[in-house]
Amino acid sequence: MRVRLADLRVWWSANVFRIVFYALLLAVVIRTFIFQPFNIPSGSMENTLLVGDYFFVTKFSYGYSHHSLPWSPRLFPGRVWSGQPERGDVVVFKLPARPSEDYIKRVVGLPGDRIQMIGGILHINGIPVRMEKVEDYVRVTPFGGEERFERYRETLPNGVSHYVLSREADYPGWDDTQEFVVPPGHYFMMGDNRDQSNDSRIPNSGVGFVPEENLVGRADLILFSTDGSAKNWEFWKWPAAIRYGRFFQGIH
């Protein structure tokens, strides 16, 4: 039985199309319902997350809203299979003022909480959180020098501990704020690099109280990290630019 070259081409084209279609479908399903990759472009979560970190967000942690879907089509209101974030979770969310932008911060205030910064210390429901000074955080500059910043271990009321940095604030009022009362169905977000984080404390920041439907997922695992010293085409510099010690680190 002879097989014509034209028939082979048709068979090959059809199968390649089918494989590509199912691969794309699988990628969309995984991205929508299980994991979504992100990277860190700014230092607002330093030193928990560094510029150049690539990490996975678990999409199923808090259920699903229309923001769980690519391009956030408004197919349904609210959340389905909803789960509440815990205080201290590191969360990716859609910026309330500009939902096309993704932000990542730490949940410090739950619905009904009273949140206030006094003298650079976070107060939750009128009680200051525990702050313990630890060794300074040292950052290597692009020119090979060093920058040092005070670092503290902050412990939230539920026992979750993490590092926060203290440095010169971008805005004087960030260390002493009004008291914020978190509305039902919303969360109060702050960055770990406290004095250089655009978050729920900041007037006209676009963040404010974050609605639960804007939550995308919980940041759980750093997959890859680079210090940015090598451009994409400078392959000979890649080995020196990679932060090998951050591979597969959990995010806490």
Active site residues: 44, 105
With contact defined as beta carbons under 8 Å apart, do 190 and 121 qualify? Answer: no
Which phi and psi (to 5°) does residue 19 adopt?
Answer: -65, -45
Residue 65 corresponds to which tokens in the numbers above? Answer: 């809203």
Phi-psi region for residue 106, left (φ > 0), alpha (ψ -120 to 50) or beta? beta
What whole-number distance in Å separates Cα of residue 58 and Cα of residue 139? 29
* Residue closest to 227 by CA, chosen among 215, 238, 242: 242
What whole-number distance in Å separates Cα of residue 193 and Cα of residue 44? 5
Q: Which residue has the tokens 């967000």?
A: 57
Sheet strands (E) in 12-129: 35-39, 53-58, 90-94, 102-109, 114-118, 121-124, 127-128
What whole-number distance in Å separates Cα of residue 132 and Cα of residue 8? 70
Chain Cα centroid distance, residue 167 = 21
